Amino acid sequence: MTTTGLRWGILGPGGIAQAFANDLVLNGLTVQAVGSRRAEVAAAFAEKYDVPNVHASYEALLADPEVDAIYIATPHPFHAAQALLALEAGKHVLVEKPFTLSQAEAEAVTTRARELGLVVLEAMWTRFLPHMARIREILGEGTLGELRSIVADHTQNLPSDPAHRINALELGGGALLDLGIYPISFASAVFGTPAQVTASATFRGTGADAAVATVFTYGDDRIATTLSASNAHGPNVASVIGTEGRIDIDSVWYSATSFTVYNNANDVLETFTSNVVGRGMQFQALELERLVAVGELESDLLPHAETVSIMGTLDEIRRQIGLVYPGE
């Protein structure tokens, strides 16, 4: 796999960062440095993934002259401030989803990136996977006719421990931002920003949302429904439905998976099976590297305006369900 040779630094070596680093290493990309607030955590991560530069603070990582791009993998409330610090340090930035806690924060980060002439990209890795690339082609070819609806869920049975990150409001916990971001971003990719949002939720004892259901309408004949939940495991499938057929994406739909295209007679028009090395998180890194190589600041697959718009949709859902994070 061809790369442009950017040297990556990992800010926050937790579980998602381990998956990211593993995919980069498997596919020949360069993980140059890791930074953690705990020296022993950074050292263990570096040993596992053969990372040469080890830093016991985020500040030291950002000051490392051998790092070109930073992957931010900390909890959601820290994304905006850390992305801004990385940009001010002259680094390109890949920010885990959700990009920030709010639309205002997303606007601040993307604006500053443009001012500094640096790439900032939301790490919605699903958007860059091969099966999603083929789905975009099929939709563009008009195979499904006029698009009418999207149905998607992201549901997991995660720990109920109040101290767990998914249930901790101070860490931006809850089903919406951790899990719902996937189907909501998918709806945005296909249909754009909804004209109307309707949302309902149930909650944990900590005040974090346990399940969120949404209905999006778009001012025409299109509608999208999503379900995100941290308290029960569902099918984790998705469908795009048009007047001439549909695409059913298999579980787990937001990962490198398979899909089938049907016409209205339920005849199979096409099947697709993903064949990727690792989990598939390398594709978002390759997109950032491509942008840097060609001198572009944002991706056509996930432009700044869409990232900001998605955060606006999440803001509206939170407003409707009454989800407020500390300090807001």
Q: If pLDDT is split at 50, 70 and 90, which confidence band does 5 have?
A: confident
Q: Look over the chain and give the mean of its residue pLDDT values, rounded to a whole number.
A: 97
Same domain, 209 and 234: yes
Query: Among 126, 161, 188, where does a domain finish?
Result: 126
Q: What is the pLDDT of residues 65-80, one digit of tens each?
A: 999 999 999 999 999 9
pLDDT at 217 over 60: yes
Query: Among 102, 126, 150, where does a domain finish?
Result: 126
| 192 is a domain residue | yes
Tell me the mean pLDDT in the region 15-21.
Answer: 97
Q: If pLDDT is split at 50, 70 and 90, which confidence band does 3 have?
A: low
**Where is 80: in which H helix or E strand?**
helix 79-88
CATH number at residue 256: 3.30.360.10
Q: What is the pLDDT of residues 146-177, one digit of tens each?
A: 999 999 999 999 999 999 999 999 999 999 99
Tokens linked to 71: 């992957």
CATH number at residue 117: 3.40.50.720
Residue 120 · residue 96 · CB < 8 Å: no
Give pairs for 13-21: CB < 8 Å, separation 24+.
13/41, 13/42, 13/45, 13/73, 14/73, 14/74, 16/73, 16/96, 17/45, 17/71, 17/73, 18/45, 18/48, 18/49, 19/279, 19/281, 20/71, 20/73, 20/123, 20/281, 20/285, 21/45, 21/49, 21/51
90: left (phi over 0), alpha (psi -120 to 50) or beta: left
Q: Which residues contact 65 (CB under 8 A, 6 or more apart)?
A: none
Catalytic residue (one of 76, 79, 91, 97): 97
pLDDT at 4 over 80: no
**pLDDT at residue 2 in the model:** 45
Same domain, 138 and 122: no
**pLDDT at residue 1 in the model:** 41
**pLDDT at residue 107 in the model:** 98
| pTM to 2 decimal places | 0.96
Strand runs labelled E in the chain: 7-11, 30-35, 53-55, 69-72, 92-96, 120-123, 147-155, 196-203, 209-217, 223-229, 238-242, 245-249, 258-263, 268-273
Same domain, 178 and 315: yes
Task: Answer yes or no: 97 catalytic.
Answer: yes
The closest alpha carbon to 36, from 19, 24, 18, belongs to 18
pLDDT at 285 over 70: yes
Q: If pLDDT is split at 50, 70 and 90, which confidence band does 130 have?
A: very high
- What length does the chain have? 328
